[in-house]
Amino acid sequence: MSLSFANSIAMQSRARALLPLCVGAGTYLFFLFVGDTLLQDSDSFWQIKIGQWILDHGALPYTDFYSFTRPGESWISTSWLSQVLFALSYAQWGWAGPVILTAIGMALTAAVFVYLLDAQIEAPRAVLFAMLALLLSIHHVLARPHILALPVMVAWVGLLMAAADRRSAPSWYWLPLMALWANLHGGFVLGLALIGPISLEAVEHAEKGQRLKLFMRWVLFGVGALIAACCTPYGWRTLMGATNILSLGELLSLIFEWMPANFATFTGFEGALLGLIALGYYRGLVLSAPRIFLILFLTWSALTHVRNIEAFAFLVPLVLAKPLGEMFPRPLADTVGADRWPARYVTALGALMIVAASWTSTSLYMGHHRFTFTMTQTPVAAVDLLEKLGVQRIFNAYQFGGYLISRDVPVYVDGRAELYGEKFVMDFFKATEGKKPELLPRLLDQYKIDATLLVADAPGPQILDQLKGWKRIYADDIAVIHVRENADDAALPSK
C-alpha cells in the first residue's frame, strides 16, 4: 500500500468518525432555528408543571390534583424524568430551555442513527436516510418527552439489530438503556415488543446446533429487559401506565397524534411507502421472514397512528441496513480504517470544535431571539378575565387544559386523556363539536360549571349563544367565554 493511499484512507476514516457528530450538529442548529415551531402543543405546559411539582416536592404524583372532574383519581406519570429535565431547562432559560433540549434530543437521534447505519452502508446513503427520517418525523417534533426518548429508541433497536446481524445475543450491558427509556417515556413498550421478532432474525441464521442455546439467551435478555423496564419509581405500575392510552378506543381517532394516516393528500409518509415498494421491486431486495415482519409491523403502526411515523422513519432503515449493505458493498477505501493515535487526537479535536461551534451559535441566536409559545394554545386575556371574575369551575377546551394547569387553574379536561377515560372525553367532544349538542347543558349542570372557555372557531360557543341561561361576555381570535346569567352582573365587563 502506497503512502499516499494510506493517508487517503486515514483521512476518510477521520471524516467517517466525525460524520455522525456533523449530522447531529446540523440537526441541532436546524431545530434551534425553527424553535418556535416546537412550541405548538399545550401538553408542554402540563409536562413542565408536573416536572416542577416533582422537583418542589421531591416525590412523584400518584393521583390527579390538576382537575376538578377527577380529583384524587389514580394517575402516574410515565415520563417523569423527561418532565423534570424540561422543568429544569424552563426554569433556567424560559422557553428557550425546552427548545434547546428538544433540539439536542433530535441531534442525538440523528447522530446515533447515522453511526449505526454507517457500520453497514456507505456514508452518503446513511446521511440520506437520516434526512428522510427527519423529514418524515418533523410533524411530531415538539417540546415533549417522546423526543428525549427518541435517541434511546434508535440506539436500542440498532444495537439489537446489530446483535442479530452477528448471530449473537445482545449484551447485558445494554439493559440500562431500557431502564432509561422507561423513565423517559411510555413508548418503551415498543422496545420490549421488538425483542421477539429481532431474536428470530438472529436464531434463523445461526448454525443449527446453536439455535436453541441462542434462543434461550435472547429469552433471558427479554426477561432482563422487562425487569429493567420496571426499574422506575413506579415499579411494575410503569407497564400498566404506559399501555393505558391504548384502551381509549374511539377517542384515539379524535386526537391528532393518535389518528390513522390520511392519504387524501400526498404526504412524505406516502412517498416513503411508495419508495420502499419501488426499491424492493427495482433492486429485487430479498429479506428474511423476521425482517419482513418487522417492516410490516412498523408500517402497520404508522398507518394506525401518525405519531408512530417517526418510529417507521428511523427503525425501518436499521432493519434494512445489512441487506442494503450487501447489495451495495463499500469501496475498499471505505472499509479500511486508520487506528493510529494521532488520527484519534485529530478526530477528538474536530469533535470539540463542532460542539463549540454549535454552542456559540446557540448563544448568538438566543442573544437576539426570544422563543414564544404559539398564541392559539394560550388564551392569556381570557384566563386573566376569568381569574378577575373569580370563577371556580371552568368548562375548558381540550387544547386549553395545559395552559390552565400552568396558571394553577383547575381544569375540566386536559391532554391526559388516559386519566379521564374514553366516554368522558368523547362526551366532551360530541357536546362541543356539535355532534350531540344536547349533551352540553347536561354536562354543564352535572359538573356545576360557572363559566366556559372554548375555542373561538369551534361550534361550542355558537351552541352556547342559543342556550338558555348562558351569555357570552368575552371573545377574541383565540377563545370565547360564556357565564351563567345568574352570575354577579356587577363583576362582568361591559359589552
470: region left, alpha or beta (phi > 0 left; psi from -120 to 50 alpha): beta
DSSP string, 308-325: GHHHHHHHHHHHHHHHHH
Torsion angle of the four alpha carbons 151, 153, 158, 164, in this order, in degrees rounded to the nearest 10: 160
Beta bridge partners of 471: 483
Write down the pLDDT at residue 382: 96
pLDDT in tens, 451-470: 999 999 899 999 999 999 99
90: number of Cβ within 10 Å: 23
Beta bridge partners of 481: 453, 474
In terms of Cα–Cα distance, which of 88, 63, 33, 10 is closest to 234? 63
Cα 369 from Cα 304, distance rounded (Å): 38
Amino acid (1-letter code) at residue 146:
H
Q: Does the pLDDT of residue 39 top 50, yes or no?
A: yes
Between 329 and 190, whose confidence is greater? 190
Q: Does the pLDDT of residue 11 top 60, yes or no?
A: no
Q: Does the pLDDT of residue 492 top 80, yes or no?
A: no
The pTM (predicted TM-score) of the whole model is 0.89
Q: Does the pLDDT of residue 490 top 70, yes or no?
A: no
Q: Find all residues with CB under 8 Å of 316, minimum gap 6, and list them.
A: 276, 295, 298, 299
Q: Is residue 103 within 8 Å of residue 89, measured between CB atoms?
A: no
Q: How many helices (H) and strands (E) does the chain have?
A: 21, 4
Write down the pLDDT at residue 351: 76
CA distances from residue 18 to 258, 291, 351, 494 in whole angstroms, order as listed: 37, 30, 7, 64
pLDDT in tens, 423-434: 999 999 999 998
Sheet of 479-484: strands edge to edge?
A: 394-396, 451-455, 479-484, 470-475
Q: What is the mean pLDDT of residues 342-358?
A: 74
In terms of Cα–Cα distance, which of 44, 55, 41 is closest to 84? 55
Percent of all residues in the chain with a pLDDT value above 70, rounded to a whole number: 91
Q: Does the pLDDT of residue 337 top 80, yes or no?
A: no
The mean of the pLDDT values for the chain is 88
Q: Find all residues with CB under 8 Å of 271, minimum gap 6, and list them.
A: none
pLDDT in tens, 246-261: 777 777 777 778 888 8
Task: Specify the residue for cell string 341561561.
Answer: 469
Backbone angles phi, psi at 469, to 5 degrees: 95, 0
Q: What is the mean pLDDT of residues 221-225?
A: 97
Q: Does the pLDDT of residue 493 top 70, yes or no?
A: no
Backbone angles phi, psi at 394, to 5 degrees: -110, 125
Q: Is residue 308 within 8 Å of residue 260, measured between CB atoms?
A: no
Q: Does the pLDDT of residue 28 top 60, yes or no?
A: yes
Torsion angle of the four alpha carbons 88, 92, 95, 98, in this order, in degrees rounded to the nearest 10: -40
Q: What is the mean pLDDT of residues 325-345?
A: 60
In terms of Cα–Cα distance, which of 411, 407, 401 is closest to 385? 407
Q: What is the mean pLDDT of residues 310-337?
A: 80
206: number of Cβ within 10 Å: 17
Tally the residues of the chain: 495
Structure confidence at residue 491 as a pLDDT band (50, 70, 90):
very low
Q: Does the pLDDT of residue 212 top 50, yes or no?
A: yes
Q: Does the pLDDT of residue 113 top 80, yes or no?
A: yes
260: number of Cβ within 10 Å: 12
Cα 235 from Cα 378, distance rounded (Å): 35
